Amino acid sequence: MAIATESVREKWSSRWVFILAATGSAVGLGNIWRFPYVTGENGGGAFVLIYLLCVVSVGIPIMMGETLIGRRGRKSPINAMRTLALEEGVSTNWRFLGWLGVVAGFIILSFYSVVAGWSVAYIFYVGGGAFAGTNATASASLFDSFTGSAWRIIGWHSLFMVTTGIIVARGVTGGLEKAVKWLMPALFVLLLVVVVYAMSTGNLGAAVDYLFASDFSELTSKSVLAALGQAFFSLSLGMGAIMIYGSYLSAETSIPRTIGLVALCDTGIAMLAGLAIFPIVFGFGLEPGSGPGLVFVTLTIAFGHMPFGQLFGALFFLLLTVAALTSAISILEPVVAWVVESFRWSRRKASGISALSAWVLGVGSALSFNQWADIRLVGKTFFDWCEFLSTTVMLPLGGLLVAVFVGWRMSKRATAEELGIGEGVLFQTWRVLVQVVAPIGVLLIFGNALVIFLQDINVLD
Ligand code: PFF
């Protein structure tokens, strides 16, 4: 075990590096690509409100839970769970939570890399002037013809996956620390530029109404489930990514303050993405519910018209790619750490084989936009299923188990010790959230959505 655990015993050089890395994991395609399009599919305002509610009442408490498990266990998620279970004298079956995470990680990485590949390609399309003076129809048809070519998107997917694999093979500190320190703030600034442009030229009123005026008559239980899944996906919860980053965190760092900041950045970026995209959606008469292509179709219209749009646009997709890369690394990392610890493989071999497996699965997602577009199960393509099962089912399930573990299976003393905020009101609130609110919330939303799903496929009625 001595050699094996080495691989996950590196430490972040300071609290800030953890914040940057955790933010790097949290901020990615989930905020800029997925949040706007899922919001669009679920009717806007009420969905956004439920999403925010999920972040605060379920997401943040579970994020604190994952970090504390990671820091106390100091191993890959599966082995950290086993260690803590032994320490607390409870069943070591809790390590299956780590298993769930590894499987979810594979699935998420597979389609994540496909979409990240689109972002890489768009650096060159936008930078090369393909969108100069474009309109809604032209932008949408360029997206369709791009994703319609299987070889092209598999090519970009391959490039992204290889890069992710190489970075993870080299270890977490070093390159990663440096990348997040500069590039994440740059992405933030560029997003602000797009927001200002979109607000001044698009239909701001309609966008604000759409995002923040909650019309609950539109809300379905499917949307509530989608909001929960989006909260987990965006905060990188439920599969051990934050847990493993927590395992590199020094004992002196305050988990609540650190996590609060990460969640704030993550949510802030998602809201900004909404404010960049929806004014353009309404200003140019686009359909908010048009699916995974939404960001690629809308932002390119903005870049096609704004001064220096070609430059800003290329830079934007470059930074989005980097944001996706820092997230992808955090998806692959728990998988690799587990493989290294379990099979005693070298980090390089473990990273290569894990990335290759996720790549193969990703080819299925890439084909869902072209050759396999008509192969559907209950209306969903292969890509839709990967996204749905991992994000909306496995992550909340993983989060539920984290909440139960830290709330009910770990001793109060151990969790209080890790959180380091005494046992006052703040700690009590956290405990109620992980013991009661998060588990019951997740179960209710699951139960409700299951009934609707069974009705949909005509099992009930
Ligand atoms: N949070 C990332 C994003 O918003 O793009 C995606 C992600 C990273 C999901 C890590 C899950 C994860 F474990």
HSE-CB at 188 with a 13 A cutoff on CA atoms is 15
> Does pTM surpass 0.75?
yes
For residue 414, report the distance from its CA to the centre of ligand 1, in Å: 28
| Average pLDDT of span 199-224 | 89
Residue type for position 328: A
- pLDDT of 75 reads 80
pLDDT of 9 over the 60 cut: no
- pLDDT of 6 reads 40
Contact predicate 166/383, CB 8 Å? no
Strand stretches in 223-345, DSSP E? none
Specify the higher pLDDT residue, 30 or 221.
30
For residue 270, report the distance from its CA to the centre of ligand 1, in Å: 13
pLDDT of 110 over the 70 cut: yes
Chain mean position to CA 268: 14
Q: In sequence order, what are the beta bridge partners of 380?
A: 377
For residue 238, report the distance from its CA to the centre of ligand 1, in Å: 10
Residue type for position 410: M
Q: In 3D, which of 146, 80, 154 has the Cα closest to residue 111? A: 154
Q: Is 448 exposed, middle or buried (0-12, 13-18, 19+ CB in 10 A)?
A: middle
| CB of residue 223 inside a 6 A radius of ligand 1 | no
| Average pLDDT of span 55-60 | 96
Contact predicate 153/146, CB 8 Å? yes
Give the span between the Cα atoms of 323 and 105, in whole angstroms.
17
Q: In 3D, which of 83, 412, 422 has the Cα closest to residue 243? A: 83
Contact predicate 34/234, CB 8 Å? yes
pLDDT of 17 over the 80 cut: no
Q: In 3D, which of 255, 229, 239 has the Cα closest to residue 50? A: 229
Per-residue confidence at 51, pLDDT binned at 50, 70, 90? Answer: very high
| Average pLDDT of span 322-340 | 90
Q: In 3D, which of 297, 397, 318 has the Cα closest to residue 124? A: 318
- Lowest-confidence pick of 107-116, 165-174, 434-443: 165-174
Domains in the chain: boundaries: 15-456
- pLDDT of 440 reads 95
Q: In 3D, which of 436, 415, 31 has the Cα closest to residue 256? A: 415
pLDDT of 173 over the 70 cut: no
- pLDDT of 12 reads 61
- pLDDT of 146 reads 97
Q: Report in angstroms the alpha-carbon separations of 304 from 74, 107, 125, 139.
A: 48, 34, 11, 9
| CB of residue 330 inside a 6 A radius of ligand 1 | yes
Phi/psi region, residue 266 (left: phi>0; alpha: psi -120 to 50; beta: rest), is: alpha
Q: In 3D, which of 248, 238, 243 has the Cα closest to residue 103? A: 238
pLDDT of 73 over the 70 cut: yes
For residue 424, report the distance from its CA to the centre of ligand 1, in Å: 32
Q: Is 423 helix (H, G, I), strand (E, B) or coil?
A: strand
Collect all residues with Cβ–Cβ distance below 8 Å to 292 and sequence separation of at least 6.
33, 37, 115, 383
| CB of residue 331 inside a 6 A radius of ligand 1 | yes
- pLDDT of 453 reads 77
- pLDDT of 13 reads 63
- Lowest-confidence pick of 198-202, 377-381, 445-449: 445-449
- pLDDT of 174 reads 61
| CB of residue 362 inside a 6 A radius of ligand 1 | no
Q: Is 348 helix (H, G, I), strand (E, B) or coil?
A: helix
For the chain, what is the mean pLDDT?
90
Question: For a substitution probing ligand 1, which of 38, 266, 330 has the most ligand atoms within 8 Å of its CB?
Answer: 330
Q: In sequence order, what are the beta bridge partners of 421?
A: 423
Contact predicate 403/65, CB 8 Å? yes
- pLDDT of 317 reads 95
Collect all residues with Cβ–Cβ distance below 8 Å to 411 and sequence separation of at least 6.
88
- Lowest-confidence pick of 70-74, 203-207, 295-299, 328-332: 70-74
Residue nearest to atom 10 of ligand 1 (CA): 236
Specify the higher pLDDT residue, 381 or 8.
381
pLDDT of 435 over the 70 cut: yes
% of the chain exceeding 70 in pLDDT: 95
Q: What is the CATH number of domain 15-456?
A: 1.20.1740
pLDDT of 4 over the 50 cut: no
Give the span between the Cα atoms of 288 and 211, in whole angstroms.
11
Per-residue confidence at 177, pLDDT binned at 50, 70, 90? Answer: low
| Average pLDDT of span 414-437 | 94
What the block records as the tokens of 457 is: 């496929």
- pLDDT of 21 reads 83
| CB of residue 276 inside a 6 A radius of ligand 1 | no
- pLDDT of 262 reads 95
Contact predicate 418/204, CB 8 Å? no
| CB of residue 28 inside a 6 A radius of ligand 1 | yes
Q: Is 12 helix (H, G, I), strand (E, B) or coil?
A: coil
Q: Report in angstroms the alpha-carbon separations of 147 from 107, 116, 150, 175.
A: 20, 12, 7, 31
